[in-house]
Amino acid sequence: MALAVAADLHELADVAARTFPLACPSSVSADNVAAFIADNLSEHRLREYLADPDRLVLAARDNGRMVGYAMLIRGVPDDDDVQRAVPVRPAIELSKMYVLPDNHGAGVSAALMTAALRGARDLRAHTVWLGVNQKNLRAQRFYGKHGFTISGTKTFRLGQAIENDYVMVCPL
């Protein structure tokens, strides 16, 4: 794992656009997925994320090709549901963690999670938290294997739709 840098933007945006839909329930419209990608995962937005000192973006590579990424964000937003679900501070959000489907089951996700948790420890966090769609059982099982437990719920705007997420936390 390595920190993503500006030279990675095109590849990072491509991986983000290809992997984000994998985490969405089948009930989510293609228009809402496309709107989220355009608003949050474009090269322009990713450039902003890379420049943000409160964010850490990690890139997973296989034979030089980016196959996944993770994004950590310091803190807890001013969302009452998340505030209640993440009582231990300082906290870091595991905002994004995606791996291309052809690399699922190859250990990339586990290595990326290990690197993300190490990054959070290096930033002196006491806990890592994330939001995961309540219908995404595969992701919930994966997070559970890495020490995350459900601590609450929150909503997530996906285009024009509101999705229901679990908030999961992992003590460090």
How confident is the model at residue 106, as a pLDDT?
A: 86
Whether the pLDDT of residue 142 is over 90: the answer is yes
- Under the banding of pLDDT at 50, 70 and 90, the label for residue 48 is very high
How confident is the model at residue 126, as a pLDDT?
A: 98
Mean pLDDT of 145-172: 95
CB 72 within 8 Å of CB 55: yes
For 2-126, CATH number? 3.40.630.30
Distance, in Å, from the CA atom of 24 to the CA atom of 34, rounded to the nearest integer, reads 12
* Coil/strand/helix, residue 98: strand
Encode pLDDT of 89-140 as tens digits. Answer: 999 999 999 999 998 888 999 999 999 999 999 999 999 999 999 999 999 9
CB 42 within 8 Å of CB 12: no
Encode pLDDT of 57-99 as tens digits. Answer: 999 999 999 999 999 999 999 999 999 999 999 999 999 999 9
Which tokens in the block code for residue 130? Answer: 């994330």
Q: List residues bridging with 65 in a β-sheet.
A: 62
Alpha carbon 127 to chain centroid, angstroms: 15
Whether the pLDDT of residue 53 is over 90: the answer is yes
- Output phi, psi for 7, to 5 deg: -65, -15
How confident is the model at residue 159, as a pLDDT?
A: 85
How confident is the model at residue 102, as a pLDDT?
A: 92
CA dihedral in degrees (49, 103, 26, 116; nearest 10)? -40
